[in-house]
A and B are shown apart, each in its own frame.
Chain A
């Protein structure tokens, strides 16, 4: 290479991407080697620039944005979950009362849990619709409880979808008036789901109860 390297060529050499001609030239030309050294020094100086602190703390704004979003999602979800739990109550009832089979203790517990869950959801809607002031600590507790219940609701939603699929398959089978082995197997496999559902509903009930109480007892009602 008869001319000196351009900056772009030197940067490529630095990155190990340069052409053979450029690399050979840098090896042989003291001036270009010096220039490459300066590139290295400049980059080292850039990397050595000090870290900076934001002049103002933005966490409170970020946190508030997060809390507002959760609250919006919560209200959207509350309506949806109430409907889903109701559907599950009907679905699980229909699913378990296979013709000729009497409901066992576990099935009765599930039914009770579902009914209590719907009842507490309704109570919650009533409590939060009253005009009131929530203090800081209660607000934090409420957000935390709502978040935990949301996680449980996600799992209930998944089970709900599986119950609906089995119910639809069962109805189809009944319409065809024939015994369906795959359907029977899928119902038997649902035992694990039912156990999980009972556990989730128990946890949901406890959290929901605390949430209703927090709304009811740890807030100051106004306008009455």
Chain B
């Protein structure tokens, strides 16, 4: 993901409403936002909608963005995307279909561990919507249980129990069962 493309000057121009600069922000962060949305949402269509809703909000609210530097912009955009994805998870009723192979436009190197990745993606896709969202936000995006609870409108213990359930299910689905 080419996050380094958006420098401070581009951020300032985007804050001033410059459409070219806003497009640079979009191009730099679309992969990050889509990946986050796709890992949380069940379908690619939902993830695309989250991508669109996130950037409509980011572009409209850019003037109010008070952070400084690309780091805080990344954190802000991820926060907006997470909220949008969680809203989608909360309000959408999902079709129960296996759409694992729709994202073959994946970027990055898929080497010898492709099978493991597919198993993991498969297992992730079979978690409940909330468990999948919590495990992704906590273990990959690095949010704390308190932050996840706030975004989901739930308690901290709810977030913790969802994470435990997610790991227990992933362990079973990935055939890692032990006596522990």
CB-based contact B48/A55 at 8 Å? yes
Q: How far is the CB of A55 from chain B (nearest CB, A)?
A: 6
A223 to chain B: closest CB distance in Å?
A: 30
Residues 38-57 of A, flagged 1 when their CB comes within 8 A of B and 0 if not, give: 11001101111111111110
Decide if A84 is an interface residue (CB 8 Å cutoff): no
With an 8 A cutoff between CB atoms, is B22 at the interface? yes
Which of A62-70, A89-97, A160-168, A183-191 lies at the binding interface? A62-70
Q: Which residues of B contact A53 (CB under 8 A)?
A: 31, 34, 103, 105-107
Known contacts A31-B178, A35-B178, A45-B120; is-contact A52 B103 (Cβ 8 Å): yes
B contact residues around A123 at 8 Å (CB): none
Let me know if B26 and A62 touch, CB within 8 A: yes
Picked from B30, B106, B180, the residue with its CB within 8 Å of the CB of A4 is B180
With A6-B164, A62-B59 as contacts: A31 and B180 at CB distance below 8 Å: yes
Residues of B within 8 A of A62 (CB): 26, 52, 55-56, 59
The 8 Å CB contact of A11, one of B35, B39, B105, B163, is B163
Majority secondary structure, B binding face: helix
Contact check, B48 vs A52: say whether CB atoms are below 8 A apart: no
Q: Closest A-chain residue to B166, C-beta based? A: A7
Q: How far is the CB of B147 from chain A (nearest CB, A)?
A: 13
Select one of B48, B106, B178 contacting A34, CB under 8 A: B178
Instruction: Write the nearest CB–CB distance from B146 to chain A, whole angstroms.
Output: 12
The complex places the Cα of A11 from the Cα of B138 at a distance, in Å, of 11
A interface residues, Cβ below 8 angstroms from B? 4-8, 11, 31-32, 34-35, 38-39, 42-43, 45-56, 58-59, 61-63, 65-66, 69-70, 140, 143-144, 147, 151
- Measured in the bound complex, the distance between the Cα atoms of B161 and A6 in whole Å is 11
Q: Is the Cβ of B117 less than 8 Å from the Cβ of A49?
A: yes
- B31 and A140: CB pair below 8 A? no
Given contacts A11-B160, A46-B120, list 10 more A-B pairs with CB under 8 A: A34-B178, A38-B178, A45-B120, A50-B108, A52-B34, A52-B103, A53-B103, A62-B55, A143-B19, A151-B17
User: A11 to B157, alpha carbons, bound, how many Å?
Assistant: 13
Q: How far is the CA of A151 from the CA of B176 in the complex (A)?
A: 59
B122-146 interface bits toward A, Cβ cutoff 8 Å, 1 = contact, 0 = none: 0010000000000110011000000
Q: Is the beta-carbon distance between B180 and A46 smaller than 8 angstroms? A: no
